[in-house]
Amino acid sequence: MKNIRRFENYMPQIDETAFIDESAVVTGNVVIGEDSSVWPCCSIRGDIHSITIGERSNIQDGSILHVTHDSEYAPGGNKLTIGNDITVGHNVVLHACTVENLCLIGMGSVVLDGAVVQSGAMVGAGSLVPPNKVLEGGFMWLGSPVKKVRELTDKEKAFLGYSAGHYVDLKNRHFKQSR
């Protein structure tokens, strides 16, 4: 597939149950886990460091995932790690950061180098997470720069798992239609 591209010694490792839309591009040192999905017009570029996407995570339309190279300005560089059961909304930029498990990153948000979104956090649409910022799990974060707004409700906490599960079902429907 032309949209799954080798870079130097690295070919993306994509679980057979993962869905990659034909208009998305996945390059280099990238691992995508079981039941995850990458939707139209996404760019996942592991050319200068590694990108890992866990299980049951979805990267929605137009999102850009990239990393930072090793240099005097970023010794060792920064990889991008996305955990399990993550929903990444449309047009999100995730750059050399960590998103733990069971999180939602709202549409149009930007999460920068070294930032950590802890398990169970929700980042509201259009938010900017500055470099090296740690977002505590269990809270809604919103704004530019992002600020802790409030504790998540029980319904919002349940929605995090629901959203990830919904996208597993949707990618299965796409698989079925393409065969």
pLDDT digit string (tens) for 145-173? 999 999 999 999 999 999 999 999 999 99
Q: How many CA atoms lie within 13 A of 89 on its CB side?
A: 16
Give the per-residue pLDDT at 175.
Answer: 85
The model's pTM is: 0.96
For the chain, domain boundaries: 4-178
Q: How confident is the model at residue 92 (pLDDT cuts 50, 70, 90)?
A: very high
Which tokens sit at 39? 């939707």
Cis peptide before 12 (omega within 30 of 0): no
Indicate whether 1 pLDDT > 90: no
Measure the CA–CA gap between 14 and 37, rounded to whole angstroms.
10
| Averaged pLDDT, 124-130 | 98
Residue 86 tokens, joined? 């993550």
CATH tag for 4-178 (out of 3.90.1310.10, 2.160.10.10, 3.20.20.70, 3.30.420.40): 2.160.10.10
Q: Tell me what pLDDT residue 179 has.
A: 62
